[in-house]
Chain A
Amino acid sequence: MTARKIGSSQIVTALMLLPAAAIFLGLFVGSLAFFFVQSFWKASTFKVTPDFRPGNYLDVVTNYGEVLLYTLGVGVLVASLTTTLAFFFAYAVRFALGRLGDLMLAIALTTLFGGYLVKIYAWRTILGSDGIINSALINLGLIDRPLSFLLFNLGAVVVTLTHYLLPLAILPLYGALRDVDETELAAARDMGASRSRVMLDIVLPQVRPALMASFSVCFLLAAGDYVTPAMVGSPGNAMFGNFIQSQFGLRMNTPSGAAMSFTLIGTSLVLLTLIGAGLRKGLQPR
């Protein structure tokens, strides 16, 4: 009886896993493996021939090295900014705001319902030359001509991405902060810790996995993005994703595009591993 029960529950578990596993293995791992193989192929004009050569990767490093560094930099900037803002927001909701906090959280999460493109266009409307900020300043008589430095630059990319990613960063942090026992904070204070020491010694180490989760999500989405830089960024400062897109699209050079994609994935993972290790070391109990 018991044996049959375990057997049938295992079958049920397997059945429940099957659809997701099929989609994951078939569509994600499968196509990723295909492109990984192709990243070593050779592309000549309008033709792709199977091969095994690391040339594509060398090309990426020589031709796109700077763009890659710039893109990783933007990713780190956006992820750091977003994670910091999200942490303070989640901290206030968890420890300071009481009832009001629930409302703030609900509002923050409601912005998840807004589409990604809608947000980008919203920021174009806000920052553009006939946008809300410029019209307001002109109507107030503070400026004569629209400020042009608001849109189509790195600042606009960072603002747009941060706005888009903030609720995604808040969720894991708020979840982790809920598990932090307020008594521990009081105990640390009692033992002589200042508020900032409590934050550093007690709160941050306990939410470190969530900090890393938020940072990683923001970093990967920001560093891999190509729509935001195209829509609100400066045309001269395209990000890595824009070049990948053009390899797959305009140039139809899939081996090169695949090699660029895997370079981005690889460097991103290395960078995140290093940041994770640094965070672990920095927040270790001394």
Chain B
Amino acid sequence: MAGKQGKDLALSMLRTLPRVALNNIRNNPGANKPSKRGRGQHGGDKHGAGNKGSGQRQNFMRTGYETGNNPFYLRFSYEPYYKGHHLRREYPPLSLQQLQMFIDTNRLDPSKPIDLVSIINTGLYDFRIEWKHAGVHLTDEGVDNFKAKVNIEVQWASEPVIAAIEKNGGTITTAYYDIHCLHVIKDVDRFFTTGVPIPRRLLPPSDCLEYYMSAETRGYLANPEEISRERLVLSQKYGYELPKIEDNPNYEMLTQRKDPRQLFYGLEPGWVVSLKDKAILKPTADYLKEFYSS
């Protein structure tokens, strides 16, 4: 028993104790809260409510009432700090440290492009559309420990994050998904059971159109030539030598991009995926093809 700690100690103590059986187990003391209050001498008296007054009678004043003072919550005029807050998109953060952990623990496969779908499918990224979540904000926490070479698509990224990924020889894109697409991405399995065609991705709204068209932020609507120039500019700004992705054996994977109308790699908008029949149904009518084309 000497030297044993924690679980091992507890288990070794059990060896000398009587057999754990139905008749000799009980819950922790105090685990069960009694549903009735004591009467008479058994905890009767005040029942923990104290002596006299609003505490005993539970006739508390209304919240914020200051017994006649001008209440604090009415003392100042209204200022709309949160005006439109319920409409604004939120990008829950994902740090580079977490991303590296996902890769190290086989939650993400760096040999394939990483996008919002694969990040949500790890099950470790809390994504709630009802909270106006709109995608991943990749943050620079753990930037020094980030070693992976990835082709990643996020919704928001800062300059040091872009530099960290490109320094390792990876590529990054920022892309926008509208709310309807996010509902599809959130639970892909469930969506495929509905039998609805994959929707086409809408273009970004005016408030973030500039972000997604800019080459500095690696927007998905930016000119690829400008992006390659900006990659060089950023490498000079941060003082690292830009690895040539053309020489990389994974060149095709690293340069793989989704179409601006596309949701999933390998699947086009308008297609219906049947998991049950393991079949893909594609639209044949001309007006459908025209509708879904980018």
B and A form one assembly: no
Give the A-binding residues of B (Cβ under 8 A): none
